[in-house]
């Protein structure tokens, strides 16, 4: 199965470090970040999970739940978490799915044969409250993810959903946003009372609406 942007994220039941869970029940009405790892006790993944744990309050502010997946078992996960907490000076408080049979990895296309016939690649999905896949990023096993970028994209997606805007290159929360071409300048001036700055008829900026 190949998952694309806009697809409904498949539901599943799994064993995890927080017990058996149903993915949809776990997410509820929240946004979700599902990310995979090639194996437990790997150095790059250890740093990633530690940093994710440190983002707990950031995710809570954005109504977002993180959930990780590794192809090892729950006992290994629990032992690995102790290492993560110790080496990364944090406390992992989100579930790590056990996927020894690789069923979830295959369901979510986390195994890329050209990269490895068996090991999961380092993929990450952002899933919205309607269970639609809104972002897919796949990294090579040797390169750690940039979770500051994940937060940035999450902010952009949530802002796009609540206002008729787009975000420009390297946008950060609080900076000017783009008025989409589908909104006329006349309508834009009504929708965005902070003002519209026109560079070209198709390139118009407005201050971030919710700040």
Backbone phi, psi, residue 169, to 5°:
-55, 135
For residues 97 and 13, give the distance between their C-alpha atoms in angstroms, rounded to a whole number: 10
For residues 93 and 160, give the distance between their C-alpha atoms in angstroms, rounded to a whole number: 29
Which residue bears the tokens 């069923």? 103
For residues 160 and 167, give the distance between their C-alpha atoms in angstroms, rounded to a whole number: 8
Catalytic residues: 45
Q: Give burial (CB, 10 Å; 0-12/13-18/19+) of 97.
A: buried
What ranges make up the beta strands (E) of the chain? 13-16, 19-22, 31-37, 64-70, 96-98, 122-127, 133-139, 177-179, 197-200, 203-206
Which residue stretches of 16-172 are H helix? 23-27, 43-54, 56-61, 74-88, 103-107, 147-162
């Amino acid at each position: 199965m190949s998952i694309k942007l806009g697809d409904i994220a498949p539901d599943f039941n799994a064993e995890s470090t927080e017990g058996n869970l149903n993915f949809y029940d776990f997410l509820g009405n929240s946004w979700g970040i599902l990310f995979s790892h090639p194996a437990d006790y790997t150095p790059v993944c250890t740093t990633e999970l530690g940093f994710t744990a440190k983002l707990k309050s950031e995710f809570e502010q954005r109504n977002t739940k993180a959930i990780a997946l590794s192809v090892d078992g729950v006992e290994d996960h629990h032992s690995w978490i102790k290492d993560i907490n110790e080496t990364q000076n944090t406390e992992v408080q989100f579930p790590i799915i056990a996927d020894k049979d690789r069923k979830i990895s295959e369901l979510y296309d986390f195994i890329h044969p050209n990269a490895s016939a068996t090991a999961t690649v380092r993929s990450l999905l952002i899933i919205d409250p309607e269970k639609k896949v809104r972002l897919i990023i796949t990294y090579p096993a040797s390169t750690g993810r940039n979770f500051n970028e994940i937060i940035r994209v999450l902010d952009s997606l949530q802002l796009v959903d609540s206002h008729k805007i787009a975000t420009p290159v390297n946008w950060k929360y609080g900076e000017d946003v783009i008025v989409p071409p589908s909104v006329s300048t006349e309508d834009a001036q009504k929708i965005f009372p902070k003002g519209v700055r026109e560079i070209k008829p198709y390139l118009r900026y407005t201050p971030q609406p919710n700040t």
